[in-house]
Structure 1
Amino acid sequence: MEIFVRPMQRTLQVAAGVNLLEALRAHQLPVSYSCMAGRCGTCRCKLVNGHVLESGRDLQRPLAPDDGYVLACQTFLTESCTIELPEPDEAVVHAAKILKATVIAVEEQTHDIKRLRLKIAKPLDYSPGQYAQLQFTPDHIRPYSMAGLAGGDELEFHVRLVPDGRVTGYIAERLQVGDAVRVSGPLGSAYLRRRHTGPMLCVAGGTGLAPILSIVRGVVAAGMDNPIHLYFGVRSERDVYGRAWLADLQRQHPQLQVHVVLASGTLPGCRSGLVTQAIAQDWRDLDGFRAYLCGAPPMVEATAHLVRQMGVEADHIYADAFYASGT
């Protein structure tokens, strides 16, 4: 049987029952992958037509469950079909690792946000915007996004303390400097697309600022000159943090514009309302933009819907929503 692969316009001859990721790799087509187990979402691609047998959908939590996307590592071919790969020139391959780490700091940022810094025994290769699974004990495991860049011996995460949260409560009340943490990753497909030269829209809600910081820091480190329009939405004045980091990035990247948006209350230098309202006020057309969205699912879903209406192509919206299960 045949697989037609877009946008390469390649037709592959494959046997029935073969794994899609294995077939793509065997024919040396550029495809991103990492964990090989359906967790990271990196090998996400689109089934344009035909039918496949997939076992990975319930492991992921896509914004649109029936959007036609599948995880190549968890997809098996049962008949001829057409597959669309995302941005073949942006394929990244970071081998999934399990690393030992040690807590070196738990720093308070706001009344309910802590900055967690870990020293890792070996470097973790990842792309800006990705996340990792942190295991504090066998019963306290949760994914968090890296806020920094790969290459050093330290990882930074931002943790919002959830009322009655099992994992966040452990971090707030019991985690100590010197404690061991197991790090698994990298995970996630909302990573920086370095070949893109046009404008970028970065939208963070709460601790969604962590991966957005990583993405902007990645732009600076790579010497990219893209205009970046960053919208940081929080609930109220007491939830604002990271403004010094953002100001420093603005000094390093003059084309970075930052909008801090408060859902309630006022604060000098900040706007009032929702991030979706601020974006709609500032823009009529976002054609040519790439959008990076990080935060709670309602914010991510509303923003994704808005920017699609304003001209951002669906394949150019990169989002990893923060789900509350296991908190």
Structure 2
Amino acid sequence: MCYRIALNFEDGITRFVDCKPGEKVLDAAFRNKINLPMDCSDGVCGTCKCRAESGAYDMGDDYIDDALTEDEAEEGLVLTCQMVPSSDCVLSVPTTSQACKTGQQSFVATVTGIAPHHDAAVVLELAVDEGETAPVFLPGQYVNIDVPGGGEHRSYSFSSAPGEHRLGFLIKKIPDGLMGNWLAGAKPGERLNLTGPMGSFYLRDGDGPLLFLAGGTGLAPFLSMLEVLARAGSQRQIHLIYGVTRDLDLVLVDEIAAYAARLPNFTYATVVADQASDHPRKGWVTQHMPEDMLAAGDVDIYLCGPPPMVDAVRHYLDENGVRPASFHYEKFTPNAPLQAIA
């Protein structure tokens, strides 16, 4: 049995390595031709220091306090030259992938489905060839998809779970958008080049309540997160607020509802900003956030949507003195890369 270690670099690139039982992370990375920062490799210099975002591990006693203090260890800092995982782990590496002589991974997938949802969005389904390794990513991360014939790419979050040969994406329809124009004439069987995974917006381990705030096609990463939580049999309290501009922008609501049967403590609410709508909840997501979850101070908030929505939520939390246990957000604009903040 091996443990899967996600290495998240400062430039947003994530690489995964398999760590054998009893193997140190630094050795596993080198075995996979990823040169993590190091100098002594003996727990003396501290050059290989990273932050463990999640997972279980043993640091042993063979390092000195000057390399890693007791306070640093309590904060989740580790020395990869001494760290021996006992579960899958996620590490933040304080340098770029280029500095570690690694880079983005690329793969090819085949279009298996294109499903328009009115004029709001398109669900794109792809499949990785049988026999090829299914892409591994953290739920919430994204890839760059090359637009055939355009010489450009667009960034989209996975809506599907990691490690599957079937890949799902929720793509906003943009008038005369590069990817939208291509999808309008695309057919199953066509091939696409993808690069990734990338991004620091992903689901962290924990057992506290979760508040998911999705705007428009920012719903995609939450579908990936919910699937992972459902498969794990999560008992966490989870509330999703899905905000859109118009009624027609509400897509995949049936998929959201299906998670209520699989996650015992999952609830959700849809919100439409258009005041002319007949929807039972109108306005902005900030008007419908459950006060009891915010007041307790132990909630982890995840937010993905267009910049005005992200900025409005951040302002609301600051103005009302809300201090969640953790706050992770990602903002996106049409035809621009995603920007994630952990």
Question: TM-score, normalising length from structure 2?
Answer: 0.66
Report matched runs for 1:78-227 at 5 Å. Answer: 91-92=90-91, 96-121=104-129, 122-137=133-148, 138-171=150-183, 173-194=184-205, 196-227=206-237
CA distance in 2, matches of 1:152, 1:103: 15
CA distance in 1, matches of 2:36, 2:297: 32
Shift of 1:87: 5.8
SS in 2 for 1:22: coil
Q: For 2:142, give the aligned amino acid.
A: Y
Report matched runs for 1:257-272 at 5 Å. Answer: 257-264=267-274, 265-267=276-278, 270-272=280-282
- Equivalent residues of 2:233, 2:263 under 8 A apart: no
Gaps of 5+ in 1: 1-19, 34-82
- Equivalent residues of 2:210, 2:300 under 8 A apart: yes
For 1:317, the equivalent position in structure 2 comes to 327
For 1:22, the equivalent position in structure 2 comes to 37
1:91–1:85 distance in 2 versus 1, CA, 3 Å: farther
For 2:284, the equivalent position in structure 1 comes to 274
SS in 1 for 2:288: helix
- Equivalent residues of 2:294, 2:324 under 8 A apart: no
What is the aligned-residue identity percentage? 27
CA distance in 1, matches of 2:239, 2:251: 18
Deviation string for 1:53-90 (max 9, x for gaps)? xxxxxxxxxxxxxxxxxxxxxxxxxxxxxx99986596
- Equivalent residues of 2:112, 2:188 under 8 A apart: yes
Return the index of the structure with the highest Cα Rg. Answer: 2
Report matched runs for 1:16-55 at 5 Å. Answer: 22-23=37-38, 27=46, 28-31=48-51
- Equivalent residues of 1:161, 1:169 under 8 A apart: no
Shift of 1:281: 6.3
Report matched runs for 1:299-310 at 5 Å. Answer: 299-308=309-318, 309-310=321-322
1:157–1:86 distance in 2 versus 1, CA, 3 Å: farther
1:184–1:25 distance in 2 versus 1, CA, 3 Å: farther
For 1:62, the equivalent position in structure 2 comes to none
SS in 2 for 1:134: strand
CA distance in 2, matches of 1:97, 1:272: 42
Aligned residues: 254
CA distance in 1, matches of 2:76, 2:277: 41
The range that moved more, 317-326 or 176-185, is: 317-326
Question: TM-score, normalising length from structure 1?
Answer: 0.69
Runs of 4+ in structure 1 displaced over 3 angstroms?
23-33, 83-90, 92-96, 265-268, 280-284
